Structure 1
Amino acid sequence: NARSVRGALTTEMWEAMNAAWPELKRYDGRAMDRTALNDFLYRVKEACLRFDGSAYRTMLRNDVYFFSRIGVYLERADNTARILDVKYHVLLPETVSVGGGLDYFQWASILRSVSALTAYRWVYRQSLKPWLIADLLVLNEQMPRSLASCYENLSAFLDELSIAYGRQGAAQRTARSIRTRLQNASISDIFQKKGLHEFLSEFIADNGRLGAAIAEQYLT
């Protein structure tokens, strides 16, 4: 895939990808124990950070950069929503109590997976609580992986595209609508009126519709 867009990648981005490829290729996914899996995922995160940092520091701020960041934030929002939803409905066995040791460990693991454990402790300064974790990962615009932060950036980069191409369309309107809903939401309303699972399912569907609107507006 990188070769097909080689002309859009800076030297530093290309080198970051070339360094990651042989390092990750040596892992055999069919014979990977838990230790090897943890190491593999750590290497993936490192490679992504190197590539993303290279893009941020070296790309021209033109439409290629805007599209690349839009892709980042669309996927990041989708991943954050799915990770949070999986924990809330799948991971904790029925025989294990909410708030117990396993529950606490799983919430801590979720926060680590999105590099948010330190941020949680800094913002809330108390033990892990599901509604506060949801608040951090859904509504807190200071948290880079939150849905609200992703849509703040998506709206901004889609506006940059509208300036570059001289017109706005359904993509900008959809992004603004979703961002406004996130800005006007409160975590208590999400839990009490709709339920977190329903809220996240609706968000994932809306996020997919935004991706389709972007593709139709700019790529067809």
Structure 2
Amino acid sequence: MLSRTADHLFWMSRYTERAENTARMLNVNYETSMLPQSAAVSETGWLGVLSLSELLPDYTSRYGEVTPQGVMQYMVLDELNPASIFNCLKAARENARAVRGALTTEAWEAQNDTWLEILRLRRQGAFERDPREFFEWVKFRSHVSRGVTLGTMMQDEAFHFLRMGTYLERADNTARILDVKFHAVANDFYGSSGERNQENDFYHWAAVLRSVSGFEIYRKVYRDVITPARVAELLMLRAEMPRSIHHCMTGVMRNLSAVGAEDEGRTMRHAGRLRADLQYAHIDEILATGLHAFLTQFLERVNQLGAHISRDFLVPAA
């Protein structure tokens, strides 16, 4: 396969997944902002959304004060923000159009229909009218794109580059969500004095789990109250959780192997060490040594892995 074709497929799936992840993060913040809380706590949540994508400097230079309305507009429809949902769906569609011949008719139509629909929704003011319904639409269109890919495409190199992009983007996003949300309540980990508002804690962590479709899975796995340590364990170390970091890194390795990555090559070894660190880790050890430090290092290593994949298979970055 031509490296340019692989590059377009890889980034088509990454942008589609990124749009869905952004919608999930905004939705959980939108819902938690409705809980009884101080203005400072609310602002911290919206600052976290911008920090998640490292966009705070750009936002403040153009919008000034951090407000829920400003952050939502910036992250959803702002055409000057490359990470907005609008631009992610646009980039996904442009990458799909560039490799139209490598996709099935259904896979191309799923991407094209999503783009045409968001143009219509923007004209009609659908996001401003009901943000939650709009976020559900973004998630649904991502599910459609992924389902059509799984159900209609031949499982050749094109398919594996699509899946690799999805898993890598999802691993990066799950790590960022955990880092931001745990940092916001950093004092909650060690020791429960009984003075905290347990009801607010429950809704906070339940919203985090719902942002990654993990609420029902948590109930099945733990059958107990929601605790920060178990949320971290589920989203980092449980291989059976489809949006966990461990599961995503397993998917990256599987697809790397399918496109011919050498077991002893630098890219596969880098991915293998990442997965091994998750496979044999224990959540108590991670929390004792520092969750933020672990996730920061993981994000750096995931970015390095993406650079290795680009070097070996895709169009080299300028």
- Return the TM-score normalized by structure 2: 0.62
Which of 211, 216, 234 aligns to 1:118? It is 216
Which residue, 191, 196, 206 being the options, matches 2:287? 191
- Percent identical among aligned pairs is 40
Amino acid corresponding to residue 178 of structure 2 in structure 1: L
The one-letter code of the counterpart of 2:200 is L
* SS across alignment from 1:127: coil
Residue 202 (structure 2) pairs with residue 104 (structure 1): yes
* Distance in 2 between residues matched to 1:195 and 1:181, nearest whole Å: 15
1:14 aligns with 2:115: no
> Do 1:27 and 1:40's aligned partners in 2 also have CA atoms closer than 8 Å?
no
SS of the residue corresponding to residue 75 of structure 1 reads helix
Q: Distance in 2 between matches of 1:38 and 1:92?
A: 28
Segments of 5+ residues of structure 2 without an aligned counterpart are 1-93, 189-194
Equivalent of residue 66 in structure 1, options 132, 157, 160:
160
Which residue in 2 is equivalent to 1:148? 246
**Is the CA contact 1:169–1:217 (under 8 Å) kept in the aligned structure 2?**
no
Q: Which amino acid aligns with 1:104?
A: F
Instruction: Show the counterpart of 1:202.
Output: 297
Q: 2:167 is aligned with what amino acid?
A: Y
1:21-170 pair list within 5 angstroms: 21-25=115-119, 26-27=121-122, 32-33=127-128, 36-90=130-184, 100-162=198-260, 169-170=265-266
Q: Which residue of 1 aligns with 2:85?
A: none
Q: Distance in 1 between matches of 2:146 and 2:301?
A: 25
Q: Which has the higher contact order (CA 8 A, sep 6+)?
A: 2
Q: Separation in 2 of the partners of 1:58 and 1:103?
A: 43
Instruction: Quote the Cα distance in structure 2 between the aligned partners of 1:218 and 1:196.
Output: 32
**What displacement does 1:58 show?**
1.2
Which residue identity is paired with 1:88? F
Does 1:178 find its partner at 2:266?
no
Q: How many residue pairs get matched?
A: 214
The SS at the match of 1:162 is coil
Gaps of 5+ in 1: none
Is the contact between residue 80 and residue 147 of structure 1 (CA under 8 Å) also seen in structure 2? yes
8 Å CA contact 1:107, 1:128 repeated in 2? yes
Letter in 1 for 2:180: V
State the alpha-carbon separation in 2 of the partners of residues 31 and 56 from structure 1.
Answer: 30
**Are 1:217 and 2:312 matched, yes or no?**
yes
Q: What is the Cα deviation at residue 100 of structure 1?
A: 2.7
Q: Distance in 1 between matches of 2:109 and 2:124?
A: 24
In structure 2, the CA distance between the partners of 1:145 and 1:99, relative to structure 1 (3 Å rule), is farther
Change (3 A) 1:201 1:6: same
Q: CA RMSD in A?
A: 2.4
CA distance in 2, matches of 1:187, 1:30: 44
Give deviations 1:14-57, integer Å, cap 9, x for gaps.
Answer: 22223322332213799954x62211111010000000001111
In the superposition, the TM-score normalised over structure 1's length comes to: 0.89
74-83 or 154-163: which moved more? 154-163
